[in-house]
Structure 1
């Protein structure tokens, strides 16, 4: 078993009680990409990670975007490696969830055989069952639009440990209205698998001139504070090399509390090694953001005609 560095922020002896919060595990690793052998290895690694998370009594274990295949795929690779929602990858997550009594956020490349489409998807497995299968609606850049078909449904909210958890996928973590949608439907934790890198190779083969911004510096803490939710950002670390070039990932996984403060965040040590970050997300343990104001309940955007000039 490849070593996993464990970093914990667990202030209690046991995990949160049902309905009060969730003990969350985030896996940040460097994994193979782009072949059927890589998929097999990544699923084996998922089993190892879930077994470790279960020993810490995690209630939810999440993995990075396109975990099963790697992210830096071409269109032909994505289609060749795509699996249906009832395929071996999701089935493996279902079996692990049932065996270890924890929920799993498994990002994978999905094939819709009936429609003939390929999607950047996230399976949320709870109690051994597929509770949600979310297809990324906000695709990033030319390569994703060539590789994948955008989903058409809002990101889901599903209860884990009787606690409402919402999903976003990478680039979607940067869209305030998506948080508003999730919070309106009850979410108190938002989990965002991602493949956030520095510089990378564009679809036309040229390198990027500016790096992808580190969303955890400003956007993620702001979204957590404004919408009063825990936000978990789960990224890979290290490198991927494929026919499209080389990707160096930021390794900036972490959880931000409803006051915008980092509850737990990957540092230099976690970026050097595969890591599992564990934290208890319990809203009642976070102080109010301000004495009276509440951005969500005080929001009056519905008064558009009154607040914005019409032309």
Structure 2
């Protein structure tokens, strides 16, 4: 058995692949209890997942869950020897939220959704089930709508995020905006930085990096003017990819407070009601364009090669896989194996 000396950052699976891209117009969701069961069963060289990150969305966890339900949720994870980490606030209009650059009502609904998520996160901490993690947000707005008034919409999103930051601080929470090409104002790395700077709440509002999504930042999907790789780029030229990723990570790393390990084959994909975004591949997918252990280090270590210890846990993100794939134990062992390699190379011991 291989010795794995590092025990930080903690290794989490995500619950939301059981929900994202599922539903009436796709496959049935995989319920939370089954996601917990499969996560807890995974094992590589005696190493287990330390926890899971949650989507506060039915049928997993209702954003309107009551105190008794929160207590039972905490106990469910504690019984499985899994911590709860970051939680996703359902800030989108169909779930009761609203566009961060929308009408006054939309923006109030956005902040209200963040308030509910922060309250749940804070109570899970008080129950001892959530030792770390953030509340994940986005702009709940499309790039198409954003382009109607780029400057004005950036200002609106930033103002909404500042209001959400006021709420988060009241609960002792931080907010992380996940950079995906499907969210207006966040659809390129330059616009993402601009939005974080406009929000100007670095202690409370930061960036959630997902390797599958940020790869598309380098390619300029939805924002060709900000591409870091040339049109027609030859994926065999690893040096050029490394150069692009180093520029990207150096710019966004100072804002990064949450991190998703993932794989991408350089294409976009959507299923169910989810817009097209970075196509998550399985950890062992031969078409994946990322060297997962190496490229994760671009995010997890600073330019001097020192681990960013503010990232107390990292999470695997792989959405919109067929249920047949997700129900196989080997899928989760392969994912955990990739996570262990990342921690072996870029983690630390406490």
Measured against the shorter chain, the TM-score band is 0.3 to 0.5
TM-score for both structures, normalised by structure 2:
0.42
TM-score for both structures, normalised by structure 1:
0.46
Higher helix share: 2
